[in-house]
Structure 1
Amino acid sequence: MDSPNTPRPLRADARRNRERVLAAAREAFAAEGISVPLDEIARRAGVGPGTVYRHFPTKEALFHAAILDNMERTIARARELSAAADPGSAFFEFLGGLLAESTVKRDLADAVGGNLSAQSGADAAHGQLSPEFVAPQKTLVALIGSLLHRAQDCGAVRPDLAVDDLMLVLKGAFMATAQAAGDEQRRRAFAVILDGLRAR
C-alpha cells in the first residue's frame, strides 16, 4: 500500500500539460535564460498560469526540471548509441550532437561538463552542480565513457584519451564555442575538436 507521502500518478491530461510546459520552458530558457516570466512560459505552452504553478511552484523548480529533462533526453540518446553497430560513428555522432546542442542549451553544457568532482564521488557541495543533478550527471559521464571505450576498441578514437580527458575537452569546447562569432566559425571549431580525438 502506498504511503500518504507517495505522489499520485498524474492523469493523462495533467501529464500532457506538464510536458507542454516543460517543452516551452526548455525553448524559452535556452533562448532567453532564466529571466523569462512563468506567465510567458504558460502562454507559449498554451496553458493557464495556474497550470504552470500547480506543477512548478517556483521558476527555480521549473528551471531545474527543464535541466533534468534535457539530461534525461541526452542519457537516452547515449544509451541508444551505445548499442550501435559502428562504435566509432556512434561516438562522433553523439559528441557532435552534444556540442551542437550546447550552443543553445547552456544548462545542458553546464550539467555535462560543469562538475568533474561529482563524477569521482566528491561532495556535490564543493562542485558546481546542485545535488539533484549529481546522479544523472554520473550516469551520463559513465555512458560517455562507454561510448569512448567502444570507439577506442574499434580503432576509431586515439587510445591515449581517458574519460577525464574527454570531459575536460568537452568542458573547454562548451566554453569556447559559446564565444564563436557565428555558426560557420562554430562548425569549424567543432570539426577541429572532433578531428583531434580521432586515431592516427
Structure 2
Amino acid sequence: MPWTLEARLLRLAKVRTVTAQVGTKLRSDARDNRMRIVAAAHLAFATGGADVPIREIARRAEVGVATVYRHFPSKEALFTEAFAEQMATCSAVVQEGLAEPDPWRGFCLVIEKLLEMHARDQGFRAYIEHLPQTADLAADRDRALRMLLELVRRAKEAGGLRPEIVVEDIALAMMANDGIRAESPEMRAAASRRLAALMIQSFRATPVPSPLPPAVRLPLSAG
C-alpha cells in the first residue's frame, strides 16, 4: 500500500524523535564522563600533584585515555578545569582584602582566609603548590599576585604592616601552615587559625598583644 503524505510525515516525526533521544542520551553520557574525569583529576592532583599521568586519571574515572583527551586537549587544560573553584576563590579572597577600607584589616583577612583554606582543602593546596607553568594558569596566578602586592603596599603605607615584609614571607607562612599535622580537618583548621594569628602579630608594624585562638593538641615528635 503506497505511503500517504500524512503517513510519511508521521514516520519522519518518529525518526526525528528517536534521533533526538539518542542525541540527548549521548550528550548526557558525555556530560557524565566529563564530570567523572574532572572529579577524578581533582582528587588525583590533590593527592599526587600535577605529575599524575593522564592514564591514571582515566583509570579512576573509568574511561579511556582517548575519552579524556576528547574533553581536555592537555593535562594543563584538565588541571585548570579541576581547580577552577580554587582559582576563583583565591582571587576572590585577595579582592575582598583589597576592598576593605582599612588596608591592614584587609591584609589580615587575606592571611586568615588563605591559611584556613590551605589547611582544609587539599585541592586548594594542590593549586597553590603544584600549579603547572602554562600561559593561562600563569596569567591567573599573576593577577592574584599583583593584587596581593598592591594590598601589601597599601598596608605598609597605612602603617599597619612592617616595611620589610615581602610576599615571600606570606609564602613562608603557607609553608609553615602545610606542616600542620592534626587528627581531623577541623583540628587542622583550628591550628591554622592560631598560626595565622601568630603570623599576623609578627607582620604588624607596631606589635599589639592580643588573645590568640585556642591552642590545638597536635602530635609531637622529637625527629
- Name which of 123, 126, 147 aligns with 1:107: 126
CA RMSD of aligned residues (A): 3.7
CA-CA distance at 1:196 after TM superposition: 0.8
Partner AA of 1:54 in structure 2: R
Q: How many angstroms apart in 1 are the aligned matches of 2:102 and 2:33?
A: 38
Contact 1:109 1:174 in 2 (8 A): no
Q: How many angstroms apart in 2 are the aligned matches of 1:16 and 1:82?
A: 39
Q: Structure 1 pair 143/65, CA: closer, same or farther in 2 (3 Å)?
A: same
CA-CA distance at 1:28 after TM superposition: 5.3
CA-CA distance at 1:41 after TM superposition: 6.3
The alignment of Structure 1 onto Structure 2 pairs a total of residues equal to: 165
Match of 1:116 in 2: none
CA-CA distance at 1:197 after TM superposition: 0.9
Q: How many angstroms apart in 2 are the aligned matches of 1:191 and 1:32?
A: 30
SS in 1 for 2:203: coil
Q: How many angstroms apart in 1 are the aligned matches of 2:191 and 2:46?
A: 20
SS in 1 for 2:117: helix
Q: Structure 1 pair 19/96, CA: closer, same or farther in 2 (3 Å)?
A: farther
Match of 2:156 in 1: 152
Match of 2:196 in 1: 190
Q: Structure 1 pair 172/149, CA: closer, same or farther in 2 (3 Å)?
A: same
What 5-or-longer segments of structure 2 have no aligned partner? 1-27, 183-187, 207-223
Q: Structure 1 pair 21/95, CA: closer, same or farther in 2 (3 Å)?
A: farther
Q: How many angstroms apart in 2 are the aligned matches of 1:176 and 1:199?
A: 21
> Which shifted more, 93-102 or 80-89?
80-89
> Which shifted more, 132-141 or 21-30?
21-30
CA-CA distance at 1:136 after TM superposition: 2.2
Partner AA of 1:188 in structure 2: R
Please give the TM-score of this superposition, normalised by the length of structure 2: 0.55
Percent identity at matched positions? Answer: 30
CA-CA distance at 1:83 after TM superposition: 1.8
Q: How many angstroms apart in 2 are the aligned matches of 1:79 and 1:175?
A: 22
Q: Is structure 2 residue 70 aligned with structure 1 residue 54?
A: yes
Partner AA of 1:147 in structure 2: L
Q: How many angstroms apart in 2 are the aligned matches of 1:18 and 1:143?
A: 33
Q: How many angstroms apart in 2 are the aligned matches of 1:152 and 1:191?
A: 18
Paired residues for 1:1-200 under 5 Å: 22=38, 25-26=41-42, 29-31=45-47, 33=49, 35=52, 37-39=56-58, 42=61, 53-57=69-73, 59-67=75-83, 70-103=86-119, 104=122, 105-110=124-129, 130-132=133-135, 133-158=137-162, 160-162=163-165, 165=166, 167-182=167-182, 183=188, 184-200=190-206
SS in 2 for 1:156: coil
Q: Structure 1 pair 27/73, CA: closer, same or farther in 2 (3 Å)?
A: farther
Contact 1:87 1:151 in 2 (8 A): yes
SS in 2 for 1:180: coil
**Deviation string, structure 1 residues 157-181 (Cα, Å, up to 9, x no partner):** 22x135xx2x211222222222223
Contact 2:160 2:204 in 1 (8 A): yes
Q: How many angstroms apart in 2 are the aligned matches of 1:61 and 1:71?
A: 13
